[in-house]
Chain A
Amino acid sequence: MIRLENISLGYGSRRLLDNASATFEHGTLTALLGRNGAGKSTLLRAIASIGNLDGGTVSLGGDDIKRLHPEQIARLVSFVTTDKVRIPNLTCQDVVALGRAPYTNWIGRMQDIDREIVAEALAAVGMSDFANKTMDAMSDGECQRVMIARALAQQTPIILLDEPTAFLDLPTRHEICSLLHRLAHEDGKTILFSTHDLDIAMSQCDMAAIIDSPNLIHKPMSDVRDDISRIFGICQ
């Protein structure tokens, strides 16, 4: 569960959110929508505790993130960013194994249980056959799945994703979204992801969070048609 209480957020001198509150329950898939530059990434970064809030509190599973250590946060929330990971010699399995970092010792030694979790995570995203392929030899969609598998291996109740469907073709976008849908509904994870794909978001997500600066609109997906057409200027 993610709880935002009266948060204010800015980027440079721009005000993005003012006094916004919302609670994202577990077992729900929420699409974070908004125009370019509305502050979707900034909000996700603030929740993941790699960006700063201007005011208010973010709580993860009931605890204020300001009171948590980086290691504790890493066991609560995992984040799939837009950073490209294309490192020669680094296999998919290695990348997913890094997701076990919050649980391994000082040198990162993997136990049998860790290896099992990594294999399960790869299987969950349908990438088991790619385990020993290197990251510089895969397509964008395959890389994205591996990064999601890494988040799964981190075994956090909350998963954040920044534009996981960007640069992907239509079938792959649908596959990624139904994967997220399954993770939220079958594994009870709280998933929040930013996207510009209104169609897919509306068909797959339970909730919508729309940044309409300086407000955050948080409603069930079925109730946001009017807000979306107003903010995105779509005539229906």
Chain B
Amino acid sequence: MRSRNTILFTLLAVAMVALFIADLAIGSTAIHLGDVWAALTGGECDVATRDIVLKIRLIKAVMAILAGAALAVSGLQMQTLFRNPLAGPYVLGVSSGASLGVAIFLLGAPLLGLAATPSLQLLGTAGAAWIGSGLILMAVMALSRRIKDIMVILILGMMVGSAIGAVVEILQYLSSENALKSFVVWTMGSLGDVTATQLQMVIPAIAIGLILSVALIKPLNLLLLGENYARTMGLNIARSRRVIFLSTVLLAGTVTAFCGPIGFVGLAVPHLARMLFAAADHRVLIPASMMSGAVVMLLCDIISKTMALPINTVTALLGIPIVIFVVVRNRSIE
């Protein structure tokens, strides 16, 4: 069992490195692997190639790894906390909450006559996404304590998502052309819009979220048996819920703030990790989800570049079959 896990982790690491390099080489202009290496290590290559690799593709590839790991881990945490295999930041409306926060900030601030400096814009976008996703997550957590039926929670999450979509449309209708443009660009969701300055904010936020998720391994394992059992085995539920909350908001909120809403990675990747490793233990699933998330996101980015599709379309096409598989399998167990 242990050796099987070692082999799988090694394979994932190799896949991650290979896809990372491929992601740097593939694009509107294909760059030779030798030139990619030269640009990365500061060797001899022409300025244009170096700029493409370092200033555009490297940031995008790093962002793909971070976003994939963050979304997958936040999805895993939500699935365990809500004891619901179909939970995830996108389905439960947490990403929509972040969108609403960003919409209110990008569209609402100009309406109030507030013009933001670039650095304030950066902080505001992230902060608005954290607050928005935090509020929705709090609402879902409160509802899940009263309503035990997991399907009802999912339907409510989708309703919240639609309601937020409507509110955002109203905001768009009221907004000026300039504000609207910056918002529409944001909603298209792309890893490529992230700048080096933004990355300085994204890296620490996601790093803290991931470190918290590692600290949550034992609580998450106990929560597998449900809150009652977890409490009788000595788990401080209130504290664990707060840490899971914080980690999920940092992970899902940050990714949504800077890449736009990316669907299905958070839902599907944890299942991929479970199937691959045949495990339920979070000591395996947390690192497995991080690495699988990074691999899947790099793959999606490469596909989206070569076929010129938005990233959200690719993640949906790859993720939905997994979701359908999970639904069908759960039905057959019952």
Specify which of B225, B235, B281 is in contact with A70 (CB 8 Å cutoff).
Answer: B235
B218 at the binding interface (Cβ < 8 Å) = yes
Residue total for B at the interface (Cβ-Cβ under 8 A):
23
CA distance A73 to B229 in the complex (A): 13
CA distance A71 to B225 in the complex (A): 17
Among the interface residues A45, A49, A87, A94, which one has the most CB atoms of the partner chain B within 10 A?
Answer: A87
Complex contacts, B236 vs chain A, CB 8 Å: 70
Residue total for A at the interface (Cβ-Cβ under 8 A):
32
Complex contacts, A87 vs chain B, CB 8 Å: 224, 280
Check B221–A108 contact: CB distance below 8 A: yes
Complex contacts, A102 vs chain B, CB 8 Å: 233-234
Q: For residue B289, give the distance in angstroms from its CB to the closest CB of chain A.
A: 14
Specify which of B234, B278, B283 is in contact with A101 (CB 8 Å cutoff).
Answer: B234
Q: Given A87-B280, A90-B224, A94-B280, is A108 in contact with B217 using a C-beta cutoff of 8 Å?
A: yes
Among the interface residues A73, A81, A99, A101, which one has the most CB atoms of the partner chain B within 10 A?
Answer: A101
Specify which of A73, A94, A108 is in contact with B218 (CB 8 Å cutoff).
Answer: A108
Check B278–A89 contact: CB distance below 8 A: yes
B305 at the binding interface (Cβ < 8 Å) = no
B222 at the binding interface (Cβ < 8 Å) = yes
Specify which of B228, B234, B280 is in contact with A83 (CB 8 Å cutoff).
Answer: B228
CA distance A88 to B279 in the complex (A): 8
CA distance A48 to B278 in the complex (A): 33
Q: Given A50-B232, A70-B235, A107-B283, is A85 in contact with B226 using a C-beta cutoff of 8 Å?
A: yes
B 251-281 contacts with A by CB, 8 A: 274, 278-281
B 188-238 contacts with A by CB, 8 A: 215, 217-218, 221-222, 224-226, 228-229, 231-236
B333 at the binding interface (Cβ < 8 Å) = yes
Q: For residue B222, give the distance in angstroms from its CB to the closest CB of chain A.
A: 6
Q: For residue A144, give the distance in angstroms from its CB to the closest CB of chain B.
A: 14
Check B218–A79 contact: CB distance below 8 A: no
CA distance A81 to B236 in the complex (A): 18
Check B218–A85 contact: CB distance below 8 A: no
Interface of A is mostly: loop
Q: For residue A70, give the distance in angstroms from its CB to the closest CB of chain B.
A: 5
Check A101–B333 contact: CB distance below 8 A: no
A78 at the binding interface (Cβ < 8 Å) = yes
Q: In chain B, what residue has the closest Cβ to A135?
A: B280
CA distance A101 to B281 in the complex (A): 13
Q: For residue B19, give the distance in angstroms from its CB to the closest CB of chain A.
A: 26
Check B278–A74 contact: CB distance below 8 A: no
Q: Given A71-B234, A77-B232, is A98 in contact with B221 using a C-beta cutoff of 8 Å?
A: yes
Specify which of A73, A74, A106 is in contact with B215 (CB 8 Å cutoff).
Answer: A106
Q: Given A50-B231, A81-B229, A101-B234, is A107 in contact with B280 using a C-beta cutoff of 8 Å?
A: no
Q: In chain B, what residue has the closest Cβ to A74?
A: B234
A20 at the binding interface (Cβ < 8 Å) = no
Check A79–B232 contact: CB distance below 8 A: yes
Q: For residue B212, give the distance in angstroms from its CB to the closest CB of chain A.
A: 13
Q: Mark B37-62, 1 if CB is under 8 A from A, else 0.
A: 00000000000000000000000000
A154 at the binding interface (Cβ < 8 Å) = yes
Q: For residue B79, give the distance in angstroms from its CB to the closest CB of chain A.
A: 11
Check B280–A99 contact: CB distance below 8 A: no
A104 at the binding interface (Cβ < 8 Å) = yes
CA distance A37 to B46 in the complex (A): 79
Check A98–B222 contact: CB distance below 8 A: yes
A95 at the binding interface (Cβ < 8 Å) = yes
Q: In chain A, what residue has the closest Cβ to B227?
A: A50
Q: In chain B, what residue has the closest Cβ to A51?
A: B228
Complex contacts, A108 vs chain B, CB 8 Å: 217-218, 221, 283
Q: For residue A93, give the distance in angstroms from its CB to the closest CB of chain B.
A: 11
Check A88–B233 contact: CB distance below 8 A: no
Q: For residue B15, give the distance in angstroms from its CB to the closest CB of chain A.
A: 22
Check B232–A89 contact: CB distance below 8 A: no
Q: In chain B, what residue has the closest Cβ to A90?
A: B280
A64 at the binding interface (Cβ < 8 Å) = no
CA distance A50 to B217 in the complex (A): 22
Specify which of B221, B231, B280 is in contact with A89 (CB 8 Å cutoff).
Answer: B280
Complex contacts, B225 vs chain A, CB 8 Å: 83, 85, 95, 98
CA distance A102 to B233 in the complex (A): 6
Q: Footprint of B on A, CB under 8 Å? A: 45, 48-50, 70-71, 73-75, 77-79, 81, 83, 85-90, 94-95, 98-99, 101-102, 104, 106-108, 136, 154
Query: Given A79-B229, A81-B229, A108-B217, 9 more contacts at CB 8 Å?
Result: A48-B232, A50-B228, A71-B234, A74-B232, A83-B225, A94-B281, A102-B234, A107-B283, A154-B233
Closest 7 interchain pairs by CB?
A74-B234, A90-B280, A89-B280, A79-B232, A71-B234, A108-B218, A102-B234
Q: Footprint of A on B, CB under 8 Å? A: 215, 217-218, 221-222, 224-226, 228-229, 231-236, 274, 278-281, 283, 333
